[in-house]
Amino acid sequence: MTKFSALFAAAALTLTAGLAQADVRPDLIPGLLKSGAIMDLEKLNQAALAQHPGTTAANITDTELEQTATGAYVYQVELRDSKGIEWDVDLDAKTGKVLSNKQDK
């Protein structure tokens, strides 16, 4: 392996390390709620739904709580809007801030 390819590989690993995420076990969620590490999941659902007016809890098709390599928690909501378009909304699970809101492909 040349020095250049070794540096490139190291840089690529460093850049993607912060993107790695792992699912949080459901039995850990009550403790995270109690400690304030994450918001109430219903409030997070409402924040995701607010991105797509006219949607309700019935439009949510899946949710996941994940922890990033940096220790932050991300709440992911998959929903279908009133036109049947699927969306992936990622929220900061502690603050409710929308991190991304993109159409599912």
**Tens digit of each residue's pLDDT, the chain (105 residues):** 454 343 344 444 433 333 457 899 999 999 999 999 999 999 999 999 999 999 999 999 999 999 999 999 999 999 999 899 999 999 999 999 999 999 987
What is the structure's pLDDT at 104?
Answer: 84
CA distances in angstroms from 6 to 15, 31, 65, listed in the order given = 14, 42, 34
What is the structure's pLDDT at 105?
Answer: 75
Query: Which CATH code fits 21-103?
Result: 3.10.450.40
In the sheet that holds 60-68, the strands lie side by side as 21-23, 60-68, 73-80, 86-92, 98-103
**pTM for the whole thing?**
0.79
What is the structure's pLDDT at 20?
Answer: 57
What is the helix (H) or strand (E) element at residue 91, kind and residue range?
A: strand 86-92
Domain spans, the chain:
21-103
